[in-house]
A and B are shown apart, each in its own frame.
Chain A
Amino acid sequence: MSLLQIKELGLEISGRPILKKVSLQIEKGKVLGLVGESGSGKSMTALSVMKLLPEGSDLSGQISFDGTDLTNLDETSMCHLRGDDIGMVFQEPMTALNPLKTIGEQIAEGIRLHRGATTSEAMHLAADILEQVGLPSDQHMLSRYPHELSGGQRQRVVIAIACALKPKLLIADEPTTALDVTIQAQILDLLRTLVTENDMALLLISHDLGVVADMADTLTILRDGKVMESGDAVDVLTNRRHPYTEQLAEASSHVPERSAPPVLASEAQMAGIAPLLSVDKIVCDYPGKRLGIFRKSSPFRAVDSVSFDIFPGQTMALVGESGCGKSTLGRCLLGLHRQSAGELHFDGVSLSDDNNEQQTDARKHMQIVFQDPYGSFNPRHRVARLVAEPLFRSPHLSAVEKDERICQALESVGLDRSDRFKYIHEFSGGQRQRLAIARALVSRPKLIIADEPVSALDVSLRAQILDLLSELRDKLQIAYLFISHDLTVVQAICDEVLVMRSGKFVEHGPVEKIFLDPQEDYTRELLAAAPNLEKYLHERTAQTSDKRD
């Protein structure tokens, strides 16, 4: 008898089918990976088990948990199960905690509710659990508020809440997607330990095959609300019998083809090629927080005297954990944030002086692609106007020429000319990111700064966008500064890597050298933490054969 057995689960929300005959099961103390792209119904499957579905949901089929049929269970009995026998961890740690209550209160609440413990008993238990999730009591965690913690710490608190009463089943919905690779590795470790120590079953929802390959015993792959394939995790991922499994696996370690060899700084210098962008000892400060009407704290140094060159057609990666200053550096290069010191040269023009005509002209050739394909477009404008935005620096173009430029840009990213009359809500996430690239291309740039351009996208879309970026690079000789925390992506597309930590570069060199022979501990940590499908599969196959021997 499985702990959780879902049979032919169907779900409609306001008449729209979401899940179609989904069946899966989890054994006691085992980890089931539930994999799928966004919109595949994986979160809805989890919420069906919790019975926390949005209004207008119509559930059919059977969910039996520990011998009880949940589909017919009333709300009061569900409340007894939730938080006690079934715990749940959500994706976004920044918003998952009540900002007005202390960490202690929030953990103790469930303990008091289910166990009838007094406040002080519950607080004692809460302190123990915090210790278990790696937040020792000497840091006064109980009396702190969520805003005083980092994202990783908050996710530990959310896990503490879910595991406070040692549930039989823990559901984790993309628990590490919003976190850095190093924090992700720590949180996954923590989940693994908790599951083993407390003999819990874990339903791990993820879009990342690497994470699942590392964690799961069994695997279920969902697509459009239907189960594509399920079975032993290593077996499913190694043999890839289902075409969709193959497609997902290929996409998650996809490397775009390239016609030209990588552009390396050492070779370019030898050939006497002048750098396209040259950054010399740049410093970026954020003004200190206002302490009073006349007092300010000292400024925060986000970027601390860094220097590098980007050569024409080169793809430079800028990697590091969140808060290391990589986005600030990108903004500084674009002139969105003024540097406090240092020299910037682009295309032979100094960008450090006050604005002048030469500079304005040069800036035309530097464009940006943002991370969020949903937030970075004005929803009230048509695509033609959105894509044409960078052309305000080219006033000499006639309306016909501008229109032609827009059409060319759209076509070069694989969209249609007629798309320019549409509004942004008519496009999917992947198409929007294509539009963002079209917007950057329209002024025929020499350098595109791409700030996490694929991290909001599903694996198959990610592979497509990487292909597109690589193709544009080969065709138009564009250089990229690729800001990312995803090392798989960096390895797939970049020529050189800058590793950044606390505003400084710790390592800099060609991709192959950095990935195969990292010199710094920090780089090694980053590399070790990055989930890698092939590596994990290899390790786990080796383990099983060891056991057999």
Chain B
Amino acid sequence: MLAFLANRLFALGLTLLLATVVIFLVLEIIPGDPARLMLGINATQDAVDVLREQMGLNQPPLQRYWSWVTGLLVGDFGTSYTYSVPVSELILERIVVSLPLALIALTLSTLIAIPVGIYAASHRGRVSDTAVIATTQLGIAIPNFWFALLLVYVFAVSLRLVPAGGFPGWDAGVWEAVKALILPSIALALPQAAILARVTRSAIIETLGEDYVRTARAKGLTYRQTLWRHTLRNAMIPVVTIMGLQFAFLLAGTIIIENVFYLPGLGRLVFQAITQHDLPVVQSVVVLLVATVVLINFLVDIAYAVIDPRLRRSVS
């Protein structure tokens, strides 16, 4: 298991290194001068030259790559062109919103989806199963911003239980901050839960048809015992895969929900940075997201190995 971990960690590092090279090269290959791109076509040549000097664009590419990567390692992400503050500060401000939001949404979606999936699978073909299928179909089809508006209308406008939008910051108290994240995380979690519940249901149904489940029944186990002891863990591989993909999406793909609730999250930061040609911010956030996805995949790999002894052997 230790060798397995070391091997995976090494692969993780290598992937990240390759990712920085690709991101750097893409920005090198983009036609035009980054400084001019950022300043717009009406900028004077002098202004462009000054910015080039500021951004260090006059140095040779290899040297620029080196200073960028070593900067990343010590947390120096460069300076935002639009905000004139260090990019790391910008990202940190946003991540304290986006990360808790994603975590709460993922937890909610898992807590809803897995029990629902198990319930539907063990009542396969009955009315309750059909009801679950219909509901999840609806959950996948309805866009999450519509859910969001509905939630705002019911819980914020009518019942006044939680704020309709905005984020008070963690300084305002943990409860206040969490309250502001409740509705957005529910809005994010419901469609994800619908997908995850379906995956769970079909994975369990498939596993229930396996020969070893029949062996377990022939041993004298009841249907319920075979479900808990032999089916669930075997059905978890596809579920964990989907959870990994969903978490990556929840971190950065939440721009619509962030806009509905006026949340200062990563999604909005990227969106603004792209419209304003703020290359240092775009570049850093992209690196950060790549790192997160690679890290999540690493965790998913470990989860696989924990679940399935056959996958622990990749290094023996």
For residue A64, give the distance in angstroms from its CB to the closest CB of chain B.
20
B residues less than 8 Å from A97 (CB atoms): 212, 215
B218's contact among A88, A99, A147, A290, by CB below 8 Å, is which?
A88
Contact A113 B218 (CB under 8 A): no
A453 at interface (Cβ–Cβ under 8 A)?
A: no
B221 at interface (Cβ–Cβ under 8 A)?
A: yes
Q: A100-B309, A109-B229, A293-B7 are known contacts. Are A95 and B222 too (CB-CB below 8 A)? A: no
Contact B221 A100 (CB under 8 A): no
Contact A83 B309 (CB under 8 A): no
How far is it, in angstroms, between the C-alpha of A110 and the C-alpha of B125 when the chains are bound? 30
B316 at interface (Cβ–Cβ under 8 A)?
A: yes
Binds B, one of A74-82, A360-368, A370-378, A522-530: A74-82
Q: A99-B234, A293-B10 are known contacts. Are A147 and B309 too (CB-CB below 8 A)? A: yes
Number of interface residues, chain B, beta carbon within 8 A: 29
Q: Mark A152-175, 1 if CB is under 8 A from B, else 0.
A: 000000100110000000000000
Q: A147-B309, A292-B7 are known contacts. Are A96 and B219 too (CB-CB below 8 A)? A: no
B residues less than 8 Å from A113 (CB atoms): 219-221, 225
Contact A100 B219 (CB under 8 A): no
For residue B236, give the distance in angstroms from its CB to the closest CB of chain A.
9
Interface residues of A in 52-96 (CB under 8 A from B): 52, 55, 75-76, 79-84, 87-88, 90, 92, 95-96
For residue A355, give the distance in angstroms from its CB to the closest CB of chain B.
34
Contact A100 B229 (CB under 8 A): no
B210 at interface (Cβ–Cβ under 8 A)?
A: yes
B residues less than 8 Å from A79 (CB atoms): 220-222
A114 at interface (Cβ–Cβ under 8 A)?
A: yes
How far is it, in angstroms, between the C-alpha of A52 and the C-alpha of B222 when the chains are bound? 11
B220's contact among A55, A84, A90, A145, by CB below 8 Å, is which?
A84
Q: Mark B1-44, 1 if CB is under 8 A from A, else 0.
A: 00000010011001000000000000000000000000000000
How far is it, in angstroms, between the C-alpha of A31 and the C-alpha of B263 when the chains are bound? 74
A residues less than 8 Å from B125 (CB atoms): 55
Counting contact residues on chain A (CB < 8 A from B), the size range is 35 or more
Contact A92 B211 (CB under 8 A): yes
B123 at interface (Cβ–Cβ under 8 A)?
A: no
A87's contact among B210, B218, B234, B309, by CB below 8 Å, is which?
B218
Chain B residue at smallest Cβ distance from A101: B230
A75's contact among B212, B219, B222, B229, by CB below 8 Å, is which?
B222
How far is it, in angstroms, between the C-alpha of A88 and the C-alpha of B310 when the chains are bound? 26
Contact A98 B216 (CB under 8 A): yes
Interface residues of A in 407-430 (CB under 8 A from B): none
Q: Can you give 23 contacting A-B residue pairs, CB < 8 Å?
A: A79-B220, A82-B217, A83-B221, A84-B220, A88-B218, A90-B211, A90-B214, A90-B215, A90-B218, A92-B211, A95-B212, A96-B212, A96-B214, A97-B212, A99-B234, A99-B310, A100-B307, A145-B309, A147-B309, A161-B219, A162-B218, A291-B316, A293-B14
Known: A98-B212, A290-B314, A292-B315. 17 other contacts (CB 8 A): A52-B214, A75-B222, A79-B222, A81-B220, A83-B219, A83-B221, A90-B211, A95-B211, A99-B310, A109-B216, A109-B229, A110-B220, A147-B309, A158-B215, A291-B315, A292-B10, A293-B10
Question: Which residues of B line the A interface, CB within 8 A?
Answer: 7, 10-11, 14, 125, 210-212, 214-222, 225, 229-230, 233-234, 307-310, 314-316
